[in-house]
Amino acid sequence: MNYIQLEKLGEGTYATVYKGRSRTTNELVALKEITLDPEEGTPSTAIREISLMKELKHINIVRLHDVIHTETKLVLIFEYCESDLKRYMDTHGDRGALDAMTVKSFMYQLLRGTAFCHENRVLHRDLKPQNLLVNRKGELKIGDFGLARAFGVPVNTFSNEVVTLWYRAPDVLLGSRTYSTSIDVWSCGCIFAEMISGIPLFRGRDNQDQLLHIMRVVGTPHDSVLRKIANDSPEVQLKVFPKYPKVPYQTILPKATYLAIDLLERMLQFEPSMRIAAADTLRHPYFAPSQPQVSPTNAYTATAAQQRPAAHSVAYQQATAAVAANSQATPHAPAVPGQQYYQPAVAQQMAPAQPGQNPGLYQFTMSYPTQMAAPAQQMQQQYPVAGVQSQQQYGTQDYNMYTAPR
């Protein structure tokens, strides 16, 4: 085998995961080793995971490098990530709760990866903090596609034994087998709330108890909603539930902003058809650029895409595009007069932020037509600027501003 096994990282139902290193590239990898039963052969979960992950190539999805198949075992070679979200929250959070900018960064990456899965007609079906990996650059990646399924039209009938209980959608808890992408959105909403507060939002002991935990927060749905779920899923057997009033999320998550609560509300709708789509969450105002933060987050390097200067208004679509492009940013080119004056920060010129470390200086680049250089002076009053470099070319004035937390 072209990989050296270094240390055991964890053990699951049908696999053991080791930290490893490539003999050829010296790159760290994760080795997921599955012992094969001579009578049963390769587990269906492994076959499913391999077939789906070979097709899903995205920065927010763990990359499958290689598969090694012998008579006695199957080894899946994945890119290596230093932590998972659960451990990251335990070690970097305030009693598990992450700071607002880190929550926003991780949430955007989670939803972007989930939206990519859905665009490629894949349901993950087991989104939870333990299955979300985080590397030292603060990149979040969706892993463990052992329960994932491809879906098509018309809607297939699936098993209702999916998703760890605390992150399971109410329609699945009711017994629905005709669910779709909305079950992943519900799980993302539960993870969102957990990152904000540090504790799982709904902690039931079994299906019935989990439903009651949900209803105590979102309120008992109207009978018409329950009937609609039953009509869409004939296997659902309706029961009589206590009548609980809705509890405002502000009382449960007092640290959350209004926009965070609004997005959470749209994700945690009891009725599946009312839940916001993963792709639509990326356009929610919660992810719009915010005002400069006093201290950059430890999870990722702050960029101009998240920090909009007051002197210039930026279209929301452009701003979110800048966020999405951050990981693939190219060197800054001079702005052309008459075109967009706002450029994402140059990734290569920024010291990478690492979990648990202060990124220190961070940079953003702004370009203005030469005759509009005055707004740049205003920016120095808006930001804690540590230094400014500028150059004039092609009729534009380019400003590289290096800022640091006060």
Mind telling me the catalytic residues? 126
> For 353, what's the count of Cα atoms within 13 Å in the CB-facing half-sphere?
23
Question: Considering Cα of 244, then 125, then 136, then 300, what sign does the dihedral take?
Answer: negative
Q: Cα(345)–Cα(307) distance, rounded to whole angstroms?
A: 10
Helices 182-197, 258-267: axis angle to 10 degrees equals 150
Q: Amino acid identity, residue 32?
A: K
**DSSP assignment letter at 248:** P
* Of the candidates 251, 295, 293, 244, the residue with the CA atom closest to the CA atom of residue 270: 244
Three-state SS sequence of 5-46: EEEEEEECCCCEEEEEEECCCCCEEEEEEEECECCCECCHHH
Q: Cα(100)–Cα(185) distance, rounded to whole angstroms?
A: 20
Answer for the pair 211, 237: CB distance below 8 angstroms, yes or no: no
* Of the candidates 23, 45, 48, the residue with the CA atom closest to the CA atom of residue 36: 45
Beta strands (DSSP E) in 135-293 are 140-142, 149-150
* SS3 category, 396: strand
Q: Is 54 annotated as a binding residue?
A: no
Cα Rg for the chain, rounded, in angstroms? 23
**DSSP character string of 58-117:** -TTB--EEEEEE-SSEEEEEEE--SEEHHHHHHHHSBTTBPPHHHHHHHHHHHHHHHHHH
Answer for the pair 327, 333: CB distance below 8 angstroms, yes or no: no
Helices 85-92, 182-197: axis angle to 10 degrees equals 10
Q: Residues annotated in the binding site for ATP, as ranges?
A: 32
